[in-house]
Amino acid sequence: MKQYIIIVTSILFAQLAFSQEAETTTASKIWSLEDCIAYAMENNITVKDATLNASISEVDYSKSKSARLPNLFGSASQNFSSGTSIDPITSDYVSDQIHSTNLGINSSMTLFQGNQLSNQIKQNKLLLEQNSLLAEEAKNSIVISILESYLQTLFSKEGIAIAESNLDASEKEVLRAKSRLDAGSIALTDYTEAQSQAATNKYNVIAAKNEYEQNIITLKQLLELSPLENLEIETIDENTDLLNLELNKEAIYTNALNYLPEVEASKTNIAVNEKELDIAKGGYLPTLSLIGSVGSGYTSINDNTFSDQLDVNFNQKLGLSLTIPIFNRNQTKAAVQTASLYIERAEIQKQTVEKEVIKKVETAYQNALSSQEQLVAAEASKEAAEQSYDLAQKKYELGDLSTTDLVISQNTYTNAQQNYLQSKYLNILYHQLLQFYQGNEIKL
């Protein structure tokens, strides 16, 4: 009994230790952008759904190729008849009770059907290519969403640091204001204004933390992570090389139109509808099929045994079947007209997709140029505001500056910090988007 208790206790301690180790590993994992993208490619439900569509198209393509093969069916029947009837085996008129058995194997194969089978195979192959491209488009969409969410989360994380720094500074100012109030060098309104600013900054810290948590939730949903799972992302260094990046608009357009899968998918969609037109036109042509069967049977009115009758009644058939369409209530004509209209619509959709791609690239290009200039201006503004705030703090300590002016200087510096932070991440975002649209890897 003691040994049993020792074994059970050891197992429980081992499981507990393993669980704690797993939790520690999960909690200590810091996700880079590359980690997030790789994980989403395996787990995001939108990507999975698009991949399943491509797999379904692959099955349809295989199914259409099998339509060229002959089919094969077996049949068996047991019948009983009474009175005057035709013997199903001998075809004689008899007035008796008949027990009969029929066994057979039938097969047919389409030799020609207006090239519809061949065109259906080609169309399904194009549909497979199209859905594979759409799956790539879905992956690209998730990559961009993760990039935006990741940078937004980093932005809000740095925003917390700014808010906490301002709160720390304002709390120190409250202490200084209290000392000056006790010394009678400032009025009560100056002290309460310092308190008000500290309270405002405390509120800003709470708001910044809440915004960060909301962004973490968004990123978790893209990664299909549990809300209870810890997620900490990797910070990035300043990338000053982005400031001097030269952008060639024409090259970006050309690369984007050649790389992005939605453009190729729209071209493939035209080819799919052209094959649909060929299939519809095949309805005007005749269908030629090869048919064959073998069979045998047994009837109770014959004196031979069951096995003997199966041998005697064994028969084989082989023939051709030709079906010529003469009039089918204009169904084929309507199908041809519809297919032609779908081709026109597919061409319009292709133009729409290309316009959307150009719009995305143009927007990212203009924003990239603008963000470069804004980043330079924001950095200069931040440095100037920081120097002004440092000077204001020194003047405030010497009693040469009012609390109101100090608060104004601090708010100006805070706004400059936030503007710089926003410009920095927008600069990174738009340059990464331009790289992505050209088929280059996103890597921070």
Examine the pLDDT at 82 and tell me if it is beyond 90.
no
pLDDT at 17: 46
By C-alpha distance, which of 329, 331, 354, 337 is closest to 269? 354
Contacts of 142 (CB under 8 A, 6+ apart): 40, 41, 44, 46, 47, 222
C-alpha span between 150 and 136 (Å, rounded): 21
Answer yes or no: do 343 and 278 share one domain. Answer: yes
Asked whether residue 371 is domain-assigned, the answer is: yes
pLDDT at 185: 84
pLDDT confidence bin for 167, thresholds 50/70/90: very high
Q: Tell me what the pLDDT averaged over the chain comes to.
A: 89
Answer yes or no: do 101 and 120 share one domain. Answer: no
C-alpha span between 441 and 198 (Å, rounded): 44
Examine the pLDDT at 142 and tell me if it is beyond 80.
yes
pLDDT at 84: 76
Name the range with the highest mean pLDDT among 175-189, 234-248, 334-348.
Answer: 334-348
Mean pLDDT of 123-147: 97
User: What would the pLDDT profile of 377-411 be if each residue is shown by its tens digit?
Assistant: 999 999 999 999 999 999 988 888 888 999 999 99
Answer yes or no: do 249 and 369 share one domain. Answer: yes
**Residue 2 CA to its chain's centroid (Å):** 56
The total domain count for the chain is: 2
Asked whether residue 50 is domain-assigned, the answer is: no
Examine the pLDDT at 95 and tell me if it is beyond 60.
yes
pLDDT at 13: 44
Asked whether residue 236 is domain-assigned, the answer is: yes
Mean pLDDT of 243-250: 67
Q: Across the beta sheet with 98-113, what order do the strands follow?
A: 71-81, 98-113, 287-299, 315-323
How far is CA 174 from each of CA 182, 197, 399, 401, rounded to the nearest angstrom? 12, 9, 14, 14
Examine the pLDDT at 323 and tell me if it is beyond 60.
yes
Last residue of a domain, one of 273, 302, 324: 324
How far is CA 32 from each of CA 45, 235, 252, 421, 436, rounded to the nearest angstrom? 21, 8, 27, 20, 17
Bridge-based pairing of strands 84-86 and 30-31 is: unpaired
Last residue of a domain, one of 324, 344, 378: 324
Q: In b/e form, how buried is each residue of 59-82, taking b as 16+ CB within 10 angstroms?
A: ebbeebeeeeeeeeeeeeeeeeee
Answer yes or no: do 280 and 388 share one domain. Answer: yes
By C-alpha distance, which of 114, 90, 13 is closest to 322? 114
Examine the pLDDT at 351 and tell me if it is beyond 60.
yes
How far is CA 361 from each of CA 244, 247, 358, 433, rounded to the nearest angstrom? 19, 12, 5, 8
Asked whether residue 33 is domain-assigned, the answer is: no
C-alpha span between 400 and 180 (Å, rounded): 12
Answer yes or no: do 295 and 422 share one domain. Answer: no
Which has more confidence, 29 or 381?
381
**Residue 114 CA to its chain's centroid (Å):** 39
pLDDT confidence bin for 102, thresholds 50/70/90: very high
CATH number at residue 258: 1.20.1600.10
Q: 324 and 288 in contact (C-beta within 8 Å)?
A: no
Asked whether residue 172 is domain-assigned, the answer is: yes
Asked whether residue 307 is domain-assigned, the answer is: yes
pLDDT-above-90 percentage for the chain: 73
Which of 93-102, 134-143, 270-279 has the weakest average pLDDT? 93-102
User: What would the pLDDT profile of 222-243 be if each residue is shown by its tens digit?
Assistant: 999 999 999 999 988 765 455 4
Answer yes or no: do 219 and 144 share one domain. Answer: yes
Examine the pLDDT at 188 and tell me if it is beyond 50.
yes
Per DSSP (E only), the strands in 59-97 are 71-81, 84-86, 93-95
C-alpha span between 336 and 124 (Å, rounded): 18
pLDDT confidence bin for 18, thresholds 50/70/90: very low
Examine the pLDDT at 20 and tell me if it is beyond 60.
no
By C-alpha distance, which of 377, 353, 354, 358 is closest to 426? 377
Answer yes or no: do 189 and 306 share one domain. Answer: no
Answer yes or no: do 344 and 431 share one domain. Answer: yes
Answer yes or no: do 104 and 140 share one domain. Answer: no
* Backbone Cα Rg of the chain: 39
Examine the pLDDT at 195 and tell me if it is beyond 90.
yes
pLDDT at 22: 41
Tokens, residue 147: 């990039």
Answer yes or no: do 131 and 197 share one domain. Answer: yes
Answer yes or no: do 180 and 319 share one domain. Answer: no
C-alpha span between 137 and 50 (Å, rounded): 9
Asked whether residue 92 is domain-assigned, the answer is: yes
pLDDT at 33: 95
Examine the pLDDT at 317 and tell me if it is beyond 70.
yes
pLDDT at 28: 59
**Residue 174 CA to its chain's centroid (Å):** 51
Mean pLDDT of 159-169: 95
Examine the pLDDT at 128 and tell me if it is beyond 90.
yes
Examine the pLDDT at 21 and tell me if it is beyond 80.
no
User: What would the pLDDT profile of 356-381 be if each residue is shown by its tens digit?
Assistant: 999 999 999 999 999 989 999 999 99
Mean pLDDT of 114-132: 97
Answer yes or no: do 99 and 194 share one domain. Answer: no
C-alpha span between 213 and 107 (Å, rounded): 66
Mean pLDDT of 425-439: 92
pLDDT at 69: 96
Helix (H, G, I), strand (E, B) or coil at 75: strand
Last residue of a domain, one of 324, 350, 372: 324
Instruction: Please state the pTM of the whole predicted model.
Output: 0.85
pLDDT confidence bin for 300, thresholds 50/70/90: confident
Range of the domain at 132: 114-285+329-444
Asked whether residue 45 is domain-assigned, the answer is: no
C-alpha span between 352 and 187 (Å, rounded): 67
Query: Dmax of the chain from CA atoms?
Result: 134
